[in-house]
Chains A and B, each alone.
Chain A
Amino acid sequence: MTLAPAAAIAPVRRSGSQRAPGGGLIEHFERGLDAPICLTWELTYACNLACVHCLSSSGRRDPRELTTAEARAVIDELQAMGVFYVNIGGGEPTVRGDFWELVDYATDHRVGVKFSTNGSRITLAVARRLAASDYVDVQLSLDGATAEVNDAVRGPGSYAVVLRAMENLATAGFAGFKLSVVVTRHNVTQLDQLEALADHHGAQLRLTRLRPSGRGAAVWGELHVLPSQQRALYDWLVARGEQVLTGDSFFHLAGYGASLPGLDLCGAGRVVCLIDPVGDVYACPFAIHPQFLAGNVRDPGGFAGVWRTSELFTDLRRPQSSGACASCGHFGGCRGGCMAAKFFTGLPLDGPDPECVLGHGAAALAALDPGAEIPTPAADHSRRERHRAAGATRVPVAFGAPARARGRAHRPVSACDESPLAGLAPPDEPEWARALTPPDRPGSSVAPS
């Protein structure tokens, strides 16, 4: 779930396997709130990058995307429901022609905005404008402390673009913007450097878990944090406490001991959800699949109707079976882990998380029938031409299997089959500025200033 920044909620946490007595906040959250605390809203599937792990398989705009008027109507509903803020993402949300108009509309209606961007449009002028508002927060995506590690995942030149955006925000005096990192086995060894990079620019580091969602399903097996690296990640997060944001995404590590700051439960459909660019409402941003589709904001009852009465969300708010994990002494800590991570790796939803710190997930993955169908992420908006071109020039580990990614997902490989980082590094592709120009908006250049 993505409830960050939820830093001041220490009373909510349980420690270890202890459960709060009935009627505690956790129980309230598990039963769902009348309105989400916050939600993720992906404004467009268009993106000028093609990150290998994109959780929404973004690339091309969808012709059915919400119009400006429809988006405003959603904001009106969010205000009426008392939703404090939206995490706007995409795709790259800033490529929408009405992006700033919608940001202004939301903040004028006291719906705060935190938006995620690859930084390609955060010029100094934009940074100054952002720095002037209390109600807008910015989250820059970066997946490595070095260009080598970052660009292997996010594309050639993307590291330089983020660095420039960070400099612009720092110059504009925007204190405390977020530097958001999806933790992989290649950058988990760079956490200190990433923290230093954030500190240097007056930013706050945010680490989130890599999920096998969207295009991430095809690379999860090669990128997810290795079992041998998990303990160090957990210890690092514990040592940082609330200094580092996590989107509450590492609660599956709670089996190691004390809970991490934040809400250690899956908030999907209970306190958070996703609205996708075409208005579909999913239980969480990592679960774009018909099984987790609750409705559409264009339905007669609008977003509120979906949130309050959809069959799926009603189901998610019922007591969940803890299945195979019921007898585990750590269940109170990890709550069985992430629903999406289980689903897209072919594990049962009431079984262990694939990255269960006790190794139950790895064992469950190994025990899966090799011929079994694994759910494939839906709504693929990847730019196919680009993928083919990339596949022709890159080592076929990350992008190299578009057909496979669009068809039946392949089984995550075991630890001994892992490809080294070298296998992920794309060759130089000097025309990064062209790659950053959204294909569906040819007039919108983002050449570096």
Chain B
Amino acid sequence: MSTEPAFDAGAPWQLHPSVAVRAERFGALLYHFGTRRLSFLKDRRLLDVVEHLACHPSALDACRAAGVQPPEQAAFTVALARLAEGDMLVPGGPR
């Protein structure tokens, strides 16, 4: 619906510190206390990616570690870009 946001999957990212995550059978719920927005993750691997972003040097590495296959990567990148657009993810680095 909007233009493709600038999201570099090769860069390090992390969850915004004001975001709470709740795992659900369908995936997960994310709630941002700052923007007061709710998002839904519809894939448990995406939850895995999001929760471990900060442990990896790039979003792509986090996806690989979560078992995302190359043909699926584009869809995961779009999902991550949307989360970054909503401030759920912020630029970060491995700790």
Residue numbers of A with Cβ under 8 A of B are 3, 5-12, 23, 25, 28, 33-35, 37, 82, 84-85, 110, 112, 114, 134-135, 137
Contacts and interface: CB of A to CB of B under 8 A. Distances in A.
**Top 5 nearest A-B pairs by Cβ distance?**
A84-B31, A82-B22, A8-B37, A28-B26, A8-B39
B51 interface: no
B20 to A, nearest CB: 6
A85 B33 CA distance: 9
A150 B38 CA distance: 31
A85 B31 contact: yes
Nearest to B21: A82
A84 B29 contact: yes
**Interface size of B as a range:** 10 to 19
Interface in B33-75: 33-34, 36-40, 42
Contacts of B29: 37, 84
Contacts of A8: 37-39, 86
Contacts of A11: 40, 42
B18 A134 contact: yes
B24 interface: yes
Contacts of B38: 3, 5-9, 37, 84
B1 interface: yes
B26 to A, nearest CB: 5
Contacts, number: 53
A25 B86 contact: no
Given A28-B26, A37-B29, A110-B20, A134 B39 contact: no
Nearest to A133: B33
A12 B24 CA distance: 15
Nearest to A85: B31
Contact of A7 (B1, B25, B34, B37): B37
A347 B72 CA distance: 48
B17 to A, nearest CB: 10
A9 B39 contact: yes
Interface of B: 1, 18, 20, 22, 24-26, 29, 31, 33-34, 36-40, 42, 86
Given A10-B1, A85-B31, A134-B18, A5 B26 contact: no
Contact of B22 (A10, A12, A84, A112): A84
A134 B33 contact: yes
13 contacts: A7-B37, A8-B38, A8-B39, A8-B86, A12-B40, A25-B40, A25-B42, A35-B22, A84-B29, A85-B36, A112-B33, A135-B33, A137-B36
A120 B86 CA distance: 34
Contacts of A114: 36
Q: Is the interface of A mostly helix, strand, loop or mixed?
A: loop
From B1, B33, B39, B86, residue with most partner A Cβ within 10 Å: B33
B1 A84 contact: no
Given A9-B39, A85-B33, 6 more contacts: A11-B40, A34-B24, A35-B22, A37-B38, A82-B22, A84-B38
Contacts of A25: 26, 40, 42
Contacts of B33: 84-85, 112, 134-135
Given A11-B40, A12-B40, A25-B42, A84 B34 contact: no
A9 B24 CA distance: 15
Nearest to B37: A8
A28 B24 contact: yes
Contacts of B18: 134
B28 to A, nearest CB: 10
A23 B34 CA distance: 30
A80 to B, nearest CB: 12
Nearest to B32: A8
Contact of A9 (B22, B25, B40): B40
A175 B33 CA distance: 14
A5 B33 CA distance: 11
Contacts of A33: 24
Nearest to A110: B20
A112 B31 CA distance: 10
A33 B31 CA distance: 15
A7 B32 CA distance: 11
Contacts of B42: 11, 25
Contacts of A35: 22
B24 A134 contact: no
A288 to B, nearest CB: 26
Nearest to B27: A25
Nearest to A27: B26
From B20, B22, B38, B42, residue with most partner A Cβ within 10 Å: B38
Contacts of A112: 31, 33, 36
A34 B29 CA distance: 12
A29 B75 CA distance: 24
Contacts of A135: 33
A7 B35 CA distance: 10
A11 B24 CA distance: 16
A8 B89 CA distance: 14
